Amino acid sequence: MLTEYSEYTIHKYWMHRALELAKIAGDEGDVPVGAVIVDASGKAIAQGQNRKERDQDPTAHAEILAIKAAASKLKTWRLNQCTLYVTLEPCPMCAGAIIQARIGVLVYGLDDPKTGAVRTVANIPDSAASNHRLRVIAGIQESACRQQLQSWFANLRHSPD
Ligand SMILES: [Zn+2]
């Protein structure tokens, strides 16, 4: 039980960091999504935040940028020893990249009823298209993740322009 509690505490810690990255994205006009990749020793080796609007790049999702940075840093595309933390359930593109990168563990905050491709709208990791077994932990810091997204969209609706 102690081990499980410790693991939960660690997940909350890194999700908090992902939320901070998401906030930067939100403040800069992108939908607030943040991601952190932690290696087997428990050290953060890469991070990402949604940059789609800023870069006008449809692939510039937080998870993609974090995966590219982690692979570059470790000089391997095989990230099976890594844990990816992301505030929102990955979309089909990011779920695909997570499988391609052989991410060991995916931890996310909030289910995405629109494009969630891990379990909500689709389940890419468990589909026939996946050749990788992914451990998934959902719902870490869920209320903080929901709050952040909801207030960002509420501000968008109320902005004068
Ligand atoms: Zn995505």
pLDDT, tens digit (0-9, with 9 covering 90-100), for 78-128: 999 999 999 999 999 999 999 999 999 999 999 999 999 999 999 999 999
What distance in angstroms lies between residue 137's CA and the mean position of ligand 1's atoms?
Answer: 17
Q: Is the pLDDT of residue 59 over 90?
A: yes
Distance CA 144, CA 121 (A): 22
Instruction: Write down the pLDDT at residue 158.
Output: 80
Instruction: Write down the pLDDT at residue 125.
Output: 96
Tell me whether residue 7 is one of the annotated catalytic residues: no
Q: Which of 7, 20, 63, 89 is catalytic?
A: 63
Instruction: Write down the pLDDT at residue 157.
Output: 84
Nearest Cα neighbor of 72 from 108, 48, 42 is 48
What distance in angstroms lies between residue 64's CA and the mean position of ligand 1's atoms?
Answer: 7
For the segment 19-28, the average pLDDT, to the nearest whole number, is: 98
CB contact set of 133 (below 8 Å; sequence gap of 6+): 125
Q: What is the mean pLDDT of the chain?
A: 95
What distance in angstroms lies between residue 48's CA and the mean position of ligand 1's atoms?
Answer: 11
Q: Is the pLDDT of residue 76 over 60?
A: yes
For the segment 10-25, the average pLDDT, to the nearest whole number, is: 98
**pTM metric for this prediction:** 0.94
Nearest Cα neighbor of 110 from 95, 90, 92 is 90
For the segment 68-87, the average pLDDT, to the nearest whole number, is: 98
Q: Is the pLDDT of residue 1 over 70?
A: no
Instruction: Write down the pLDDT at residue 116.
Output: 98
Instruction: Write down the pLDDT at residue 42.
Output: 94
Q: Is the pLDDT of residue 32 over 90?
A: yes
Residue reference for tokens 């089909």: 92
Instruction: Write down the pLDDT at residue 2.
Output: 55
What distance in angstroms lies between residue 1's CA and the mean position of ligand 1's atoms?
Answer: 34
